[in-house]
Chain A
Amino acid sequence: MSFEINWQDLGEDEAVNDSIKSFLNSHLQSISLPSYVSSLQVTDFCLGGIPPNITLREISDPLDEFYNHIEKEELPKDKIPEESDSGCQSADGENGDLLPEVQAESDLQFLVEVDYKGDMRIGVSAELALNYPSPSFMTLPVKLSITDLGIHALCLVAYISKQLFVSFLCDVADPILDARESLIDLGSSAILGKKSLERISLIRSIKIDSEIGEQNNVEGSVLRSVGKLEQFLLEVFRTILKKEAAWPSWINLDFNEDPSGNESSDED
């Protein structure tokens, strides 16, 4: 462990837990549900009392991809005053020349090893649709609880002109690591991005328990669907992590405009 983490305040903080809850919910909204689930919502989230173990592995210059992202973001901002001035002034070439040099000596990138085996809890409520004997024969409220999340992965944290980029690279046991001395050498990022399917899952362990009304517990068909729901949910969380926070995607926190930290994700 390289970082001293003050987890006591964080794990029980309502504002922090709520913001993670709404982040997860906003992503659940965009997921197409299978026929046997009619609604899915995170009802409670708690980071728990056990912090991740974070070890610093390398410090270097940030990857080019982060700079490319910032340049793309800044282009529209530069165009706004020009359009309001007059319509006849327009030259993309000029705009390109005016772009500030985003790369600064003070930019930093950390490669860290995140080892998490904490007591984070996610509570999910769902409506289970029983399609037997006829479609949508019955809906049942189901409560699911997700615990025992285990992650042991390498993660990039880049700090560039008040913007923070966080991206999970791969599991520490990924064979992709065997071949190279340093992960952040040129080209490695591209390799990581292309072979994402062959990589070991970032989530090492996860446990999902479901709770439904007791009178239905004996019914085999109901239990089978719940098992399917658990599987589905598992995939949902793997996908959220992979799509939103794993290379070549990242979580981008911009401290320039919003002092509280504006959470937005990016996919290239």
Chain B
Amino acid sequence: TDRKFSQINTILEKTYYNVETHSPETLDWFNVLIGQTIQQFREEALQKDNIVHSLNNFIARKSGELPQYLDTIKITELDIGEDFPILSNCRIQYSPNSNKQRLEAKIDIDLSDRLALGIETKLLVNYPKPFTAALPIQLTVSIVRFQACLTVSLTTAEEFVPTSENEASYGSENGGYFLMFSFSPEYRMEFDVKSLIGARSKLQDIPKIGSLIESQIKKWFVERCVEPRFQFIKLPSLWPRSKNTREEKTENDDISMK
């Protein structure tokens, strides 16, 4: 363990980074690359209608697992946004509670956008008989603001345990490096929930429905990627291989193809 400590110190020394005095960096270059990636993802999604399809497929696959009080779910709106997350204020620090044996990057993240999902379903009353009554529900849930402090580090698998039993096999293949990231608990996630409930006489935008949805989404989020939980993703090998080698198309190639 002392070895690890001195390893980390050597790295810091030889990369000219003093965790006490180094000033935070902007990540402007990284924002541009992330923005490009997201842009491409959005274009693909729009062109092929990918997300709606995969979501509808997902819902169709999971329809047996839906609670009995919900009718089939139909997606009515999908907005994948048009802005990009802005990362800033990046600094390297020792991971708290790691006894100076692990380094991590802390990055502020801010996103102002509209990411929306609209669905239509029915609340079913199954008493005294199945489908005795149904209450139509139209919902549009949008995330309009997300602000958080992101922690990123590279590590090996040995120090960590999966949070659910069935993922145990994934953890056992512990060779290689993992990217772990997590958000600090003081995150800010703002929602805009629109609801329309009822058949002919409708109730609109009930606060209780909004808070119900918000708490479900936040629960999902907190259980996966808010400290002390974090996401743990195996990194692919970056060793140069011939099967990963490409070169730019030249004009000659285009002509010969014709």
Contact = CB atoms under 8 A, between A and B. Distances in A.
Specify whether A and B are partners.
yes
Interface in A1-44: 1-6, 9-10, 13, 15-16, 19
B66 interface: no
B201 A2 contact: yes
The secondary structure that dominates the B interface is: mixed
Contacts of B136: 4
B141 interface: no
A255 B198 CA distance: 25
A3 B134 contact: yes
12 contacts: A1-B201, A2-B197, A3-B133, A3-B135, A6-B131, A19-B128, A55-B198, A56-B203, A59-B197, A61-B208, A105-B211, A106-B212
The secondary structure that dominates the A interface is: mixed
A261 interface: yes
Q: Which of A3, A9, A10, A13 has the most CB of B within 10 A?
A: A3
Interface in A157-179: 164
Contacts of A4: 122, 133-136, 199
Contact of A59 (B129, B131, B200, B208): B208
A1 B199 contact: yes
Interface of B: 122, 125, 127-129, 131-136, 197-203, 206, 208-209, 211-212, 215-216
A60 interface: yes
B129 A10 contact: yes
Interface of A: 1-6, 9-10, 13, 15-16, 19, 54-61, 105-106, 108, 164, 253, 255, 261
B128 A10 contact: yes
A59 B203 contact: yes
Contacts of B197: 2, 56, 59
B201 A16 contact: no
A3 B128 contact: no
Contacts of B122: 4
